[in-house]
Chains A and B, each alone.
Chain A
């Protein structure tokens, strides 16, 4: 598809010409998906909403230099991912300073799988679902930065390999390999819990 056929690109060109209604329309169209991306980096709703706002302000500030060379969402998600990654790095630094992760005697971090279950006695379905959701979040958060970004864009935003490549400055084969490695990691972390869940349901 030619960039000019993209409805968002048409709106952005109007924004460039000073049309505030077009900008409001763009924000409305993408506010939730931008929040969804940055939230999964920060895991803090308030901070994520500030970041999402900042993404749109950044687009508005740079509207005069906008050139429709690709889909509008490519630009949007690139800014959102960068903001999210920066926030995640800042958060990681704060966390290291405030509370060191649990460690074994040798100082190595304890993997999530080896941590005690939060509430083993309360095996209610809702709680188990929440626990599984927590493990899913941990599995996504444990991915290396670029793999995580590729997963967020592919799984939650439905972006194609081609668009992810444009957002991350990678070739399509590189994206294919990146997502394959990410999915293998996720499978390794989550499969045991899915089996346990399956056994529980079978009982």
Chain B
């Protein structure tokens, strides 16, 4: 059999595509979206094809009936509500820009403080070696006193300023 003996499938797809193109043009014609040449082509075909003319009328009627799907209008005060909300958003942003850096700094200070305090009592801490124990024996003897003093923020601040902290 020669390759083109049975052109049906190929023709069918071309036919489908042609139908789709005609429909697309018909809809675009109704929407006023065709250029002059395409519009003239559609009108020429409509003049000789009553089925196509019926389809055009049906497409137009079903499109017109969509007007029954009405949408409501915005309620009174819509614009004022939008403007009031933009004002609230602006104020919120002002607070965020001013307060957030201060809050972040405070969190950082607290985190550093908690690390120093918590570290001494952390059981998960790496066990110290005998050598380390020997080297820091003086410090360990005063451990209770240092922990007590560590609870006093003013002392910590003073000690840090005067480089008196043992760690």
Contacts and interface: CB of A to CB of B under 8 A. Distances in A.
Interface of A: 20, 23-24, 27-28, 31-32, 35-36, 39-40, 45, 48-49, 52-53, 56-57, 60-61, 129, 132-133, 136-137, 140, 151, 154-156, 160-161, 176-177, 179-180, 183-184, 186-187, 190-191, 194
Contacts of A39: 71-72
A24 B84 CA distance: 11
Contact of B59 (A45, A129, A154, A183): A183
A45 B59 CA distance: 29
Interface residues on B, range: 20 to 34
Contact of B24 (A36, A180, A191): A180
A5 to B, nearest CB: 22
Interface of B: 20, 23-24, 26-28, 31, 33, 58-59, 61-63, 65-66, 68-75, 78-79, 81-83, 85-86, 89
Contact of B65 (A53, A132, A151): A132
B131 to A, nearest CB: 61
A53 B78 CA distance: 8
A31 B68 CA distance: 21
Closest 8 CB pairs of A and B: A36-B71, A133-B68, A180-B24, A180-B27, A187-B62, A31-B74, A190-B62, A39-B71
Contacts of A177: 20, 24
Contacts of B31: 154, 161, 179
B113 to A, nearest CB: 38
Contact of B58 (A31, A140, A156, A191): A191
Given A23-B86, A57-B89, A160 B33 contact: yes
Contacts of A156: 66, 71
6 contacts: A20-B86, A32-B74, A57-B82, A61-B89, A180-B24, A184-B59
A187 B24 contact: no
A22 B33 CA distance: 33
A94 B65 CA distance: 30
Contacts of B75: 49
A27 B78 contact: yes
A40 B63 contact: no
A85 B26 CA distance: 28
Contacts of B72: 35, 39, 45, 48
